[in-house]
Amino acid sequence: MQPIISIKGLTKTYEGGFQALKEVSLDINRGEIFGLLGPNGAGKTTLINIVCGIVTKTTGSVTVDGFDIVDDYRQTRSRIGLVPQELPTETFETPWNVARFSRGLFGKPENPGHIEKVLKSLSLWEKRNEKIMMLSGGMKRRVLIAKALAHEPEILFLDEPTAGVDVELRQDMWSVVRSLRESGVTVILTTHYIEEAEQLADRVGVINHGKIILVEEKNRLMREFGKKQLVLQLTDCLAVVPPELDDYELELSESGCELTYHYDTKQDHTGITALLAALRTAGIKFNDLSTSQSSLEEIFVGLVNQEA
Amino acid sequence: MNLHAIKAIYRTEMTRMMRTVVQSIVAPVLSTSLYFVIFGAAIGSRITEIDGISYGAFIVPGLIMLSIMTESISNSSFAIYFPKFTGTIFELLSAPISFVEVLLGYVGAAATKSVIIGLIILGTASFFVTIDIAHPVIMMLFLVLISVSFSLFGFILGVWADGWEKLTIVPILVIMPLTFLGGTFYSISMLPPAWQTISLFNPVVYLISGFRWSFYENSDVAVAISLGMVLGFLLLCLIAVWWIFKSGYKLRS
Ligand SMILES: Nc1ncnc2c1ncn2[C@@H]1O[C@H](COP(=O)(O)OP(=O)(O)OP(=O)(O)O)[C@@H](O)[C@H]1O
Ligand SMILES: [Mg+2]
């Protein structure tokens, strides 16, 4: 299937000479949730703003649904909704009015029913006629999402949708994003909360210093990069690991009552069966065992550090 | 052409005008009334007539011009500067609209508002003095053309300004002196010859003169020249706007 967004060799050099994007190439698949991760200043917002038309590219090409973002900007922009990182709002207007305005701006005929649906789905219906400046920060963010959804976009960009948002609202946002995906909307979100990407994204891209350093299906990423460890609670504590178990590079805890074994899920043979057999031979008994996997956050930090 | 977008911008701007009705309509009416009290009553009692027109009636076209020029500039410059200032401009930049549509929406709304204000001032003035309009169609033509060109000018100013200072300094430093020296309160022929010549370099003289002609068939310069000046100014603004549009000047980084 043709990707809905195709970015090829995109570079951006800002006026001052700073190069924010270096030869970025990236495809976004139709209907997926794509998580774009990267430290502060990596170029996430720059990338999004170029696709949306707010920042001009220096070189490279971007197509949305097969249309070029410069030559066919009316086609591409009418398909896109954007929730920006900052919270710029028309303080004296009401949620209803700004949502209606956005819809018109994006070339769609009036449809009060749709605006109503959007405002309700974001729990803004009761506040529809209040001045935006009277709303809380979280509510303002919802207003921005409502504006972005008012023209029924096929693609939604969320630039750090949950920065500074409380746990409950974050959960709400996640469910909004999930239901959007169910209705066929492609969602691209940037976030600093790795947990968010872990919860939501189908695929993850990592950007650092203006370069995409990795794009991978989230599950595969976690499988491939995810080191697993097996921890055994010993029945009888040990002073040292017996030499016949040296091959397994086991770690003995300070108390001597916990043995940790690291293994790689990538390998066909994790060595667990052999380890357990060896333990039995050595006469080491255990009364509990647990496994754990490194989180996306650890993978991410690892990648970015490697890069630096 | 994204007509829905033009409509959305136009309507939002007009709604804002209704919301700030005191500021946008009551204020010009009040200041016009004050001008009448101060200039019409105080000075008018000494000057009584200029070129056969009562002083009170003589200053009406100039007062209308004064208001619509300042209103056009401040309304449209503010309308585009404010989104830049708050950051809501991102939406205009990311929408499937061209600069022309943005322009039509904002300048259209600002000009409409100016025309309405001009007519309200005319109505207010008619309470104070009797006004005859010799050429209503030409009067409307001047009113609309000048509202549109100064709204365009204001739009350019709003795009160009990167601070409140720049936004307010141009109207105060350039427009105010030009309009006050433009013959609102006197006829150019009343000035010493040297000042008459200097006045001819003031474009506002032509605007006020032409507009006054449409009322009283009395003017400092030929009405055709006045109309030519208005159209020339309009053209100049259109060229500037076209250049802004081409270069994406200061709006996109
Ligand atoms: N208008 C601009 N002019 C010059 N440099 C800019 C401009 N906007 C961004 N930059 C620079 O480009 C780099 C990338 O910025 P960008 O906002 O894309 O990062 P980001 O990944 O979104 O960061 P964050 O996580 O903090 O939002 C930064 O070093 C920033 O300073
Ligand atoms: Mg950012």
DSSP annotation string for chain A: ---SEEEEEEEEE-TTS-EEEEEEEEEE-TT-EEEEE--TTSSHHHHHHHHHTSS--SEEEEEETTEETTTTHHHHHHTEEEE-SS----TTS-HHHHHHHHHHHTTPPP-HHHHHHHHHHTT-GGGTTS-GGGS-HHHHHHHHHHHHHTT--SEEEEESTTTT--HHHHHHHHHHHHHHHHTT-EEEEEES-HHHHHHH-SEEEEEETTEEEEEEEHHHHHHHH-EEEEEEEESS--SS--GGGGGG--EE-TTS-EEEEEEETTSS--SHHHHHHHHHHTT--EEEEEEEE--HHHHHHHHHHHH-
Contact between B60 and B215 under an 8 Å Cβ cutoff? The reply is yes
Token pair in block for residue A79: 């398909």
For the entire predicted model, the pTM comes to: 0.82
- Strands A155-159, A186-191: pairing is parallel
Contacts 24+ apart (CB under 8 A), A57-60: A57/A10, A57/A11, A57/A12, A58/A11, A58/A12, A58/A13, A58/A21, A59/A9, A59/A10, A59/A11, A60/A7, A60/A8, A60/A9, A60/A10, A60/A11, A60/A23, A60/A24
Interval between CA A84 and ligand 2 midpoint (Å): 9
**A16 CB within 6 A, ligand 1:** yes
A52 contacts in chain B (CB < 8 Å): 93-94
Q: With an 8 Å Cβ cutoff, are B91 and A107 in contact?
A: no
Contact between A293 and A222 under an 8 Å Cβ cutoff? The reply is yes
The whole-angstrom separation of Cα A54 and Cα B87 is: 11
Domains for chain A: give ranges and CATH numbers: 5-222 (3.40.50.300), 226-294 (3.30.70.1150)
Nearest CA residue ID for atom 5, ligand 1:
A14
For residue A36, the model assigns a pLDDT of: 93
**What is the helix (H) or strand (E) element at residue B228, kind and residue range?**
helix B223-247
The answer to whether A22 contacts chain B (CB < 8 Å) is no
Diameter over CA atoms, chain B: 60
For residue A125, the model assigns a pLDDT of: 93
The whole-angstrom separation of Cα A269 and Cα A206 is: 29
A88 contacts in chain B (CB < 8 Å): 86-88, 90
**A54 CB within 6 A, ligand 1:** no
Q: With an 8 Å Cβ cutoff, are A101 and B8 in contact?
A: yes
Mutate to test the pocket of ligand 1, among A14, A15, A24, A86 (most ligand atoms within 8 A of CB): A14
pLDDT digits (tens, 9 = 90+) for A196-226: 888 889 999 989 899 998 898 888 877 766 6
The whole-angstrom separation of Cα A120 and Cα A126 is: 8
The whole-angstrom separation of Cα A213 and Cα A257 is: 41
Question: What atom in ligand 1 is closest to the CA of residue A55?
Answer: 1
pLDDT digits (tens, 9 = 90+) for A229-243: 888 898 888 888 888
Interface of A with B in 190-229 (CB under 8 A): none
Residue with tokens 């595969």: A220
Distance from CA of residue B186 to its chain's centroid? 19
The answer to whether B5 contacts chain A (CB < 8 Å) is yes
Q: With an 8 Å Cβ cutoff, are A88 and B86 in contact?
A: yes
Nearest CA residue ID for atom 18, ligand 1:
A43
The answer to whether A152 contacts chain B (CB < 8 Å) is no
Query: pLDDT tens digits, chain B, 253 residues: what are they?
Result: 889 999 999 999 998 888 877 777 788 788 878 887 777 677 767 777 777 788 888 888 888 988 888 889 988 998 889 888 888 888 999 999 988 898 899 999 999 999 999 998 898 888 888 888 889 999 999 999 999 999 999 999 998 888 888 888 888 888 878 887 888 777 787 888 888 888 888 888 888 888 988 988 877 778 888 899 889 989 998 998 888 877 765 677 7
Q: From the CA of B105, how many Å to the nearest CA of chain A?
A: 10
The whole-angstrom separation of Cα A84 and Cα A48 is: 9
